[in-house]
Amino acid sequence: MPVAEMMANFWDERYQAEPFLFSTKPNSFLVEQVTGNPRPGHKAALAVGDGEGRNGVWLAEQGWHVTSLDYAAEGIAKTQRLAQERGVSIDTVCADASTWTYPAERYDLIVLLYFHLPRDAAIRAHQGCLKALKPGGRLILEGFRKQQMPLTSGGPKVEDWMYSAEEITSDFGTLDASVNRAVGRVLREGRLHGSAAVYQFAGTKAD
């Protein structure tokens, strides 16, 4: 079975087991990076690996026109339900982010939050994100770095699936970085979380 199909099945089962595995609150780094900026008007955002939709729906509440991308059908269904409950409109795409056909220069904002794939698949997805980002657009990323391996606060437990500073530079070095750091932080975005080793990145594509 292909890795993407196997992982989609894995997440479908997890999302079915609980109302919302990681709560309905947005990621705090996303909120930090977006809050206080001018309202986006009709600008477009892409939430890659959006899971149950908590981040994509929050962006829609802030005025973004959001596309939520995930390979788990149950996650997509929960995203649609959450958007309806919150009274916002959101586009959803059920697809593998490493093979999806990314439109060229479509999005003003792309977010990758705890989006983990095998390294070769992650490279393809990241290349797609750079292609899809408009000149002047921003990319925001937060995810586990390789030092997360011995910790019990989440993550795929496969070192190849986690980030390193060198990989971030290789994949996103063409962006003008405003945040580029390895940090330790306490995650409070689900019952499985706790003290974690994460990487945070925010960068802008040249005009």
pLDDT tens digits along 164-187: 999 999 999 999 999 999 988 776
pLDDT digits (tens, 9 = 90+) for 107-124: 999 999 999 899 999 999
Least Cα distance to 130 among 30, 59, 180, 203 occurs for: 203
Query: In this predicted model, which residue has the larger pLDDT, 187 or 91?
Result: 91
**Average pLDDT score over the chain:** 86
- % of the chain residues with pLDDT over 70: 78
Looking at the structure of the chain, the number of domains it has is 1
Domain that holds residue 139: 3-204
What CATH number should be reported for the domain holding residue 37? Answer: 3.40.50.150
pTM over 0.75: yes
Does residue 21 carry a pLDDT above 60?
A: no
Does residue 1 carry a pLDDT above 50?
A: no
Query: In this predicted model, which residue has the larger pLDDT, 167 or 20?
Result: 167
